[in-house]
Amino acid sequence: MATAQIGRGRNSVRLRRYNERLLLQVLRRSGEASKADLARRTHLTSTAIGSIIQSLEASELIVYTGRRTEGQRGQPATLIDLNPKGAFGIGVRLDRDSIETALLDFGGQILARRVHDRILPSPDETLRLVQADIEHVLKAITPEERERLTGIGVAQPFNLGAWLRELNLPNEDFRAWDEVDFAFELGEATGLPVFSENDGNAAAIAELFYGCGREFDDFLYLFMGPVIGCGVALNGDCLRGVTGNAGDIAVMPVPPSGLASAQAPAHKWDMLLSRASLNALGRHLRYCGATVESHADLERHIRAHHPAVEEWIEDCIDALAPAVRAALCMLDVPVVVFDADVDGGLIDLLQRRLAKALADNAPEAREAPELVRGSFGSDAGAVGAASLPMFFSFSPRAEILGSVTRSIEDMRDAD
């Protein structure tokens, strides 16, 4: 019986934490609301809402923004909203050709950032560089606000030392990354909690927490970067898989490219990253005589409607559409969120072409998904990384409610 009492106590704490996070999610999705609004949307009692509001106010996670005076009788309702200064997260995005560190507030705004466009150096050198960048971005908030720092998020491609032939990168620069746990080393160096995800998952989490997750709990997220990234949102949480690589569409097998610039695949099948990626676009532009040294160069050629861009888009969609269709068959999600590291009209163009290809080839009794533009563009990596400590600290993720359910079942067994 004593075990059951302990179980009830733990369950009560977990349930309260879940309800607090649920209320914060409602405010994040809908904006300011009254206590009555929150009770209606969360299906909690007025007493429970009042208690949670007191706790969140004491933690400075919410603020009172005024009173509602229109459309109601009696005493005007007090309105509550998230406090943008209630919490902060640091994001570190590592890619094979760049390093970015950013500071994000609770409202999802980037307050400061440092960017290095360079081939990723050794883990030791990167650690020193990132530590200096963290100190730099933290200057944007006061010492008191630093007490509300939730931690550091690290977003990077997993297996950094792999697929270097397909990406035209030198082996010696990346092999060491497969032998190091950078998130652990960064935590040891800074003394802060560090949350690590692959870059596709991190960007999908940013959409869940600050972007399209305001409307959708289930979607496939695609990000056209140097390598195509992907994440899967199911029931308002991010699907990770056993190794954290769920949704790794970049390595999905596809037929070889028809472009003259393409490398011959090492095996019978090629990988999607060889055809649907900014790396493939840059390679084809250079093959056709264009100068490409930066994302700005890519955008310039996209805006100018360079013929090589159109050739790459056709080849990209030819590989991407069946890969996305295969993913949708397995996941059964109604929405595809699409974003990219560059624009110049590329995001809308790829989204339209992909939507048409999916609709034209939709199997009988299966509709084409809704395609939605992502919320962050080239900021997706930084916001994704910095969202990680926020998400894991404040999101009513399914596993929290699952732990509540398991505790209730444990209590019943104990009784």
Q: What is the pLDDT of residue 408?
A: 39
In our burial notation (b when 16+ CB lie closer than 10 A, e otherwise), range 272-291 reads: bbbbbbbbbbbbbbbebebe
Please state, in angstroms and rounded to a whole number, the distance separating the CA atoms of residues 197 and 85: 25
- Cβ atoms within 10 A of the Cβ of 246, count? 18
Q: What is the pLDDT of residue 405?
A: 40
Q: What is the pLDDT of residues 18-40, one digit of tens each?
A: 899 999 999 998 888 999 999 99
Residue 157 above 50 pLDDT?
yes
Q: What is the pLDDT of residues 57-116, one digit of tens each?
A: 999 999 998 876 665 565 778 899 999 999 999 999 998 888 999 999 999 999 999 999
Q: What is the pLDDT of residues 345-384, one digit of tens each?
A: 999 999 999 999 999 988 877 888 999 999 999 999 999 9
Q: What is the pLDDT of residue 52?
A: 93
Residue 9 above 80 pLDDT?
no
Q: What is the pLDDT of residues 217-264, one digit of tens each?
A: 999 999 999 899 999 999 889 998 888 888 899 999 999 999 999 988
One-character DSSP codes across 320-355:
HHHHHHHHHHHH--SEEEEEES--TTHHHHHHHHHH
Residue 146 above 50 pLDDT?
yes
Q: What is the pLDDT of residue 172?
A: 66
Phi/psi class of residue 131: alpha, beta or left (left: φ > 0; alpha: ψ in -120 to 50)?
Answer: alpha
Among 160, 152, 139, which Cα is nearest to 189's? 152
Q: How confident is the model at residue 16 (pLDDT cuts 50, 70, 90)?
A: confident
Q: What is the pLDDT of residue 411?
A: 40
Asked if residue 88 lies in contact with residue 193, where contact means CB atoms within 8 angstroms, the answer is no
Q: What is the pLDDT of residue 364?
A: 78
- Cβ atoms within 10 A of the Cβ of 227, count? 25
Chain length of the chain? 415
Residue 409 above 70 pLDDT?
no
Q: What is the pLDDT of residue 173?
A: 67
The two three-digit tokens of residue 95, written as one number:
């890619």
Q: What is the pLDDT of residues 393-407, one digit of tens each?
A: 998 875 555 544 444
Please state, in angstroms and rounded to a whole number, the distance separating the CA atoms of residues 409 and 60: 34
Q: What is the pLDDT of residues 123-141, one digit of tens each?
A: 999 999 999 999 999 999 9
Please state, in angstroms and rounded to a whole number, the distance separating the CA atoms of residues 389 and 220: 22
Q: What is the pLDDT of residue 406?
A: 42
Q: What is the pLDDT of residues 257-315, one digit of tens each?
A: 999 999 888 788 999 999 999 999 999 999 999 999 988 999 999 999 999 999 999 99
Q: What is the pLDDT of residues 166-185, one digit of tens each?
A: 677 666 667 788 888 999 99
Q: What is the pLDDT of residue 214?
A: 87
